[in-house]
Amino acid sequence: MKEYIEERAMEIANYIIENNATVRQTAKAFGISKSTVHKDVAERLEQINPALAAEARKILDLNKSERHIRGGLATREKYLGMESAGKFCGKYTKKQW
């Protein structure tokens, strides 16, 4: 494996651990794809530093288990914002949310 890839995998793992970052946040911060983040943490880092890989994996697994909650909250905020701006005329009111 090329040295720069090993360094990137280590940097990605440290970033995830320090910031409790999601795959998407990490990919954006490093200017790489989400697939590359996954591959670096799941495969490459396992070979380089298994302990660091396990720690990063714990955070990514936690984020994955919570993503449906974050998605629901984002949708809720979107429609509440649209309602207050007069752009939403749905059947739900703030009280029902």
Q: Is residue 65 part of a domain?
A: yes
Q: Is residue 7 part of a domain?
A: yes
Kindly tell me if the per-residue pLDDT of 63 is higher than 90.
Answer: no
Tell me the angle at which helices 50-84 and 3-19 cross, rounded to the nearest 10 degrees. 50
Q: Is residue 96 part of a domain?
A: no
DSSP line for 41-93: IIIIHHHH-HHHHHHHHHHHHHHHHHHHHHHHHHHHHHHHHHHHTT----S--
Instruction: Say whether pTM exceeds 0.75.
Output: no
pLDDT confidence band for 78 (50 / 70 / 90): confident
Q: Is residue 8 part of a domain?
A: yes
Name the more confident of 14 and 75: 14
- pLDDT at position 80: 76
For residue 44, give its domain range: 3-85
DSSP line for 16-37: HHHHT--HHHHHHHHT--HHHH
Total tally of structural domains belonging to the chain: 1
Q: How far, in Å, CA of 1 to CA of 80, rounded? A: 49
